[in-house]
Amino acid sequence: MAKPRVVFVLGAPGSGKGTQCEKIVQHFGYTHLSAGDLLRQERNDPASEVGQLIHNYIKEGKIVPVEITCGLIEKAMVKSGKSKFLIDGFPRNHDNLSGWNEQMGEKAEVAFVLFVECPEEVCTERILKRGQSSGRTDDNIESLRKRFNTYTKETVPIVRHYDQLEKVRKINGGTGRTPDEVFEDVKQMFQ
């Protein structure tokens, strides 16, 4: 049987990764797995042995150790029984990348990285607005500053790594572009 096809979706906090993933799911039949959502779900499970650890990492805008995140991703992939995945918000740092390569390198095919570009001011405005109703413990200015710092220091180098492998497809998710306008560009990447 063919290996599952994976598209990683990266971009700054609030750049619109989740929004575009929803549209890709509707149009192209991918299964959307958000690493952040999987971690929040695990954190909220009272029986989880790593719930408190995840809570602390998320609040500090730090990246949870890959053994936990990649374990959750693989479990969700297997459980879905599907073969085309958008993995949103992963790999976020070198630990994520090496852990993925070790655990999943032989089991899945990374087709490309969809990189959603968006200026920090626009992302900040979106996240603070989302924070009024999201219930997310990290949609506040203190956590957001830490998340941006982690993004710049740890995630941007991962995008560069995939760029060197010519695997990055970049879209403009920024200023004054509605989600539908952004999706018009995204479509080109999937057709």
Ligand X SMILES: Nc1ncnc2c1ncn2[C@@H]1O[C@H](COP(=O)(O)OP(=O)(O)OP(=O)(O)O)[C@@H](O)[C@H]1O
The residues that touch ligand X, with contacts defined as CB under 6 A, are 11, 13-19, 36, 89, 126, 130, 173, 177-179, 182
| Bond into 91 cis (ω within 30) | yes
Q: Which of 11, 13, 16, 173 binds ligand LCLUPRNS (CB under 6 A)?
A: 13
Is 88 in a helix, a strand, or coil?
Answer: strand
Q: Please name the residue ranges forming H helices in 31-119.
A: 35-43, 51-59, 66-80, 94-104
Q: Which of 14, 18, 61, 91 binds Mg ion (CB under 5 A)?
A: 18
> Residues 11, 173: contact at Cβ < 8 Å?
yes
Rg (CA), the chain: 16
Q: In terms of CB distance, is 1 or 70 closer to ligand LCLUPRNS?
A: 70
Select the span of 1-9, 23-31, 60-68, 178-186 touching ligand LCLUPRNS (CB under 6 A): 60-68
Q: Which residues pair with 6 in a beta bridge?
A: 85, 110
What are the residues binding ligand LCLUPRNS (CB under 6 A)?
A: 13, 34-36, 39, 57-58, 61, 63-64, 69, 89-90, 92, 96, 138, 147
